[in-house]
Amino acid sequence: MKKHRGLFLAFGLLGLLGLLPQAANAGTITMTISFTGHTITIQPGSSFAQTGSSNTQLTVNTTALNNTLKTDGVNLSVSGLNASTQNGSLVYPTSGLLTEGGTVAFADNKGSIDTITISTVLSGFTAPTGNGTIDSSTTLNMQQTNKGDSQSSSTSYNSATVTTFPTYSSTGPTNQTPSFTPVMKGVGTVSSGYELDNSATIKLTAGQDQFSVATQLTAQSVPEPTSIVLMLTSMPLPLVVMGLIRRRRRAVAA
């Protein structure tokens, strides 16, 4: 153990300088299901979340949600609805990621509402920071839908819309899987605590739509060698640590 003390002290010094790998953390995944006159909020631990949901993976209790949609006059049901992020799982984090997806299907609930918006938000990302870029993407797969059924998707950063994808309107009951080109946009300097959002609005009068929306933020911030030297020469505590390391080496050599 003694022979490794110098190494531990060195790691402590690097940690003080912010050069050791840091885990990316964030807050609580929150999904909202919105339709005429109503908004349903879903978080891990709520009655609309499956047991085992967490801040890195939210799986919706679709049985409970579908019962509520039916009661509220929505002619739609959902399956496989989920949201996820990688926060807390990476070292040397190079991106912040938030995804949502699932299947929305027409349900003859004798109601009057045929459109819902599914949105997911996650705030408090601690990494990465620096010069940021948002990469947004979306997919859909419509089956047995009526002409005019539709999906529109968007992504946001810090509550400001980054990308709005073109609304896709069904041409009829054939299987439709249009391709949307991912959109990459710069968002300037990213600070710790940022927020990512995904949203999809789906209208169905028949059939189903399997969808996904994803937002990924990448950022680059590499300390300049000059900055590292300045930190080493201006921080008393690191100098003390270096002195302890030298003293330990002299003692071992003697």
Establish if 129 belongs to a structural domain. Answer: yes
On whether both 165 and 43 belong to a single domain, the answer is yes
Residue with tokens 């505590």: 237
Three-state secondary structure call for residue 93: coil
- State the virtual CA torsion across 85, 199, 130, 96 in degrees, nearest 10: 10
Residues with Cβ within 8 Å of residue 117, at least 6 apart in sequence = 32, 33, 34, 35, 199, 200, 201, 202
On whether both 248 and 129 belong to a single domain, the answer is no
On whether both 130 and 200 belong to a single domain, the answer is yes
Establish if 228 belongs to a structural domain. Answer: no
pLDDT by residue, tens only, the chain of 254 residues: 554 455 444 444 444 444 444 556 678 999 999 999 999 999 999 999 999 999 889 999 999 999 999 999 999 999 999 999 975 455 556 789 999 999 999 999 999 999 999 999 999 998 889 999 999 999 999 999 999 999 999 999 999 999 999 999 999 999 999 999 999 999 999 999 999 999 999 999 999 999 999 999 999 864 444 344 434 444 454 444 455 455 555 655 55
On whether both 49 and 3 belong to a single domain, the answer is no
On whether both 133 and 155 belong to a single domain, the answer is yes
What's the rounded Cα separation, in Å, for the pair 220 and 23?
16
On whether both 183 and 248 belong to a single domain, the answer is no
Establish if 227 belongs to a structural domain. Answer: no
On whether both 59 and 164 belong to a single domain, the answer is yes
